[in-house]
Amino acid sequence: MSATSVTSQVFKFGGAALCNADAIKNVVQIIAEHPSRALVVVVSAMGKMTNQLEKLIEAHTTDDVKRRDTELEIFFKYHDDIVNNLFELQSHPVYQDIHNLKTTMRWSLDEHLSSADAVYDQLIVFGELFSSTIVFHALCLNRINAHYVDIRNVFKTDDHYRDAAVDLDYSEARAIEVIQPLLSNHIVVTQGFIGSTSDNYSTSLGREGSDYSAALLANFLNAQQLTVWKDVPGVLNADPRYFQNARLIEQLNYQDAVELTYYGATVLHPKTIKPLQNKAIPLYVRSFLDLNHTGTCISNYAYATYKPKSSYILKKNLVLITAQRNDLSFITEAHISMIYHLLWMKRAKIHVMQISAVSFSFCCDRFTDMDTFIEELSHSYTVKYNSPVQLLTIRNYQESKSAQVLEGKTILLEQRSRQTCQFVLPDDV
Ligand code: ADP
Ligand code: ASP
Ligand code: MG
C-alpha cells in the first residue's frame, strides 16, 4: 500500500508547549505560519496533567473517593481555565465537547475492570483527549482548516495496559485509510501516547510515549519530516537541569540518538528513533520558544562526515547490587541467567553489569519489592547494595573532559567501550 499521495509533515507538541492559554496561542501561531498545510499535529496532555491524572487514579484505586473527587476537580478546573481564556463566546462548541469529555470520564470512573493497569489506562487517556479537543478548536477559531482524529480508532494495540504494543501493520493501514485522505485539505489534530485494544478498551504506550506515537505516524504516512517542539533549543550534550553550559548538538545520527535516549536523555522517548530511521525520515528537535533556530536535526549522518560531540547523560534513582557466591565458586552463565530471570519477573531494567570470578554486579532501576528480591538472592549469594545511585554515561568521550566531570566524585563502578564510558556514582546531588 502506498501513502505517498500527499507529502506530509508531523508536528508533536508536549506538555510544556501546551501548559496554558498563551502557550496554546503560540502553538496555533507556529502551525498557522508553517507553509505546509499537509500537517499532522500530535499533542500530549497539557502541562503536568498526566501526573495529575496519576494522583486521581491512585486515589480512585485505593477507594479514597474524597481525594479522587478533589483531584478530578483540579484536572477539570485546569482545562476550564484554559478554555475560558481562549474562547470568549460561551456558545462555542468547545464547551459542549469538554462537557461531553467530563461526562465520559465520570462514566469511566464507574467502570469495573479486572486489573489496576486496565483502570489506569481507561483514565490516563483523558489528558490527551482534553488537550487535543482544545487545540483542535483553537486552530479552527483561528480559521485553520483542522480535523480532529481520535487516534484510538487508528492505533490498535495489545492489552498490555500501561505499556501497550502497537499492531504496526494494522495501524499503518488505518493511518493510510483514515488520516491520509484528510491531509489534502486539513490539518489533522490527534493524540500521542494512547491507543486502544481490538475490543476498544483504551491503552497507553508508556509514559512520555507521544514522541513515539508521532514517529509511528510519520513512518506510516511516509512523512517528509517529524518536528518535536520542546522547551529547550534542541538536543543538548547534557541535561540542562543537571549540567551548566550544556551545548546544542546541531546534527546527530540515528545511532547516536538511540544510544543517548536509551542511556537516559529524556528529551526524546527511546522508541522514537527506530520508525524514523527505518524510512530515513529526519527528526527535528526545536524550541517552541525560539522559532529562529532550527535546533537539532537527527538523520542518516555518516561518521566520516560528522563529528559527534561528547554527551553527558545522567540517570538517577538506581540501585547497584553486587551478588557474590557464598562458597566462592565461580559465577557462571547459569547464575547470571537466574538473576536476570528474577529481574525480568520484577520488570527491573539492568543498565550496566560487570562480572568477576565470584561476583556479579549490576545497576538497575529501583523497583517496588526490591527487599524481597534481595532476600531471595541472599539464599545463595552474599548481597551488597548501594541505593540510590546514579549512572553517568559519557558518549563519544574525551579523557580530559571526563576527568573534569568526575573530579571529587566517588566512583562505585566503571565501564568503558570504544565510544562510551559509564560510571555509577552515589546519588547525592
Ligand atoms: P515534552 O514537553 O515534549 O514532553 P520533555 O519535557 O519530555 O518534553 O523533554 C524536554 C526536557 O528534556 C527538557 O526540558 C530537558 O530538561 C530534558 N532533557 C534531558 N536531557 C536533555 C538533553 N540531552 N537535551 C535537551 N533536553 C534534555
Ligand atoms: N502525557 C504523557 C506523559 O506525560 C505522554 C507524553 O507526554 O509523551 O507521559
Ligand atoms: Mg515528555
Query: Tens of pLDDT along 209-220?
Result: 999 999 999 999
pLDDT tens by residue, 124-153: 999 999 999 999 999 999 999 999 999 999
According to CATH, where is 3.30.2130.10 located in the chain? 311-426
Which pLDDT does position 37 carry in this prediction?
81
- pLDDT tens track for 271-287: 999 999 999 999 999 99
Question: Which band of pLDDT confidence, cut at 50, 70 and 90, is reported for residue 2?
Answer: very low
Is the CB of residue 228 less than 8 Å from the CB of residue 192? no
**Closest to 195 measured CA to CA, from 164, 226, 219:** 164
Query: Ligand 1 centroid vs 159 CA: distance in angstroms?
Result: 29
pLDDT over 80 (residue 429): no
Return the CATH number of 311-426, one of 3.40.309.10, 3.40.50.720, 3.30.2130.10, 1.10.150.120.
3.30.2130.10
Query: How do beta strands 381-395 and 420-426 pair?
Result: antiparallel
Which of 150, 100, 93 is closest to 125 using CA atoms?
Answer: 150
| Residue of the CA atom closest to atom 26 of ligand 1 | 267
184 neighbors 224 (Cβ within 8 angstroms): no
pLDDT for residue 304 is more than 90: no
pLDDT higher than threshold 90 for residue 79? yes
**CA–centroid distance, residue 144 to ligand 2 (Å):** 26
Given pLDDT bands bounded at 50, 70 and 90, which one contains residue 1?
very low
User: How many Cβ atoms are within 10 Å of 304's Cβ, its own excluded?
Assistant: 6
Q: Which residues line ligand 1 (CB under 6 A)?
A: 14-17, 44, 208, 230-232, 235-236, 238-241, 265-267
Output the ligand 2 site: residues, CB below 6 A. Answer: 14-15, 44-45, 50, 127, 192-193, 207-210
- Provide the pLDDT for residue 118: 97
Percent residues over pLDDT 70 in the chain: 99
| Spatial separation of the C-alpha atoms in residues 397 and 399, rounded to whole Å | 6
How much is the average pLDDT of 51-70? Answer: 97
User: Which protein residue's CA is at the shortest distance from atom 2 of ligand 2?
Assistant: 208
Q: List every span in the chain annotated with CATH 3.40.1160.10.
A: 9-231
| Burial label, 106 (beta-carbon count in 10 A; 0-12, 13-18, 19+) | exposed
What is the dotted CATH code of the domain comprising 9-231?
3.40.1160.10
Q: Whose CA is nearest to atom 5 of ligand 2?
A: 208
pLDDT surpasses 70 at 359:
yes
What mean pLDDT comes out for the span 228-250? Answer: 95
Asked if residues 366 and 388 have their Cβ atoms less than 8 Å apart, the reply is yes
Q: Which of 129, 208, 212, 268 to mutate to test the pocket of ligand 2 (most atoms within 8 A of CB)?
A: 208
The mean pLDDT value for 354-382 works out to: 91
| Under 8 Å between Cβ of 226 and 284 | yes
pLDDT tens track for 12-25:
999 999 999 999 99
Contact 381, 329 (CB under 8 A): no
What count of Cα atoms within 13 Å lies in the side-chain half-sphere of residue 60?
26
Ligand nearest to the CA of 247: 1
What's the mean per-residue pLDDT of the chain? 94
- Cβ atoms of 418 and 395 closer than 8 Å: no
Closest ligand 1 atom to residue 44 Cα is 4
Whole-number pLDDT of residue 169: 98
CA of 290 to the centre of ligand 2 (A): 22
- Residue found by looking up cell 545511585 in the block: 389
Q: Is the pLDDT of residue 3 over 50?
A: no
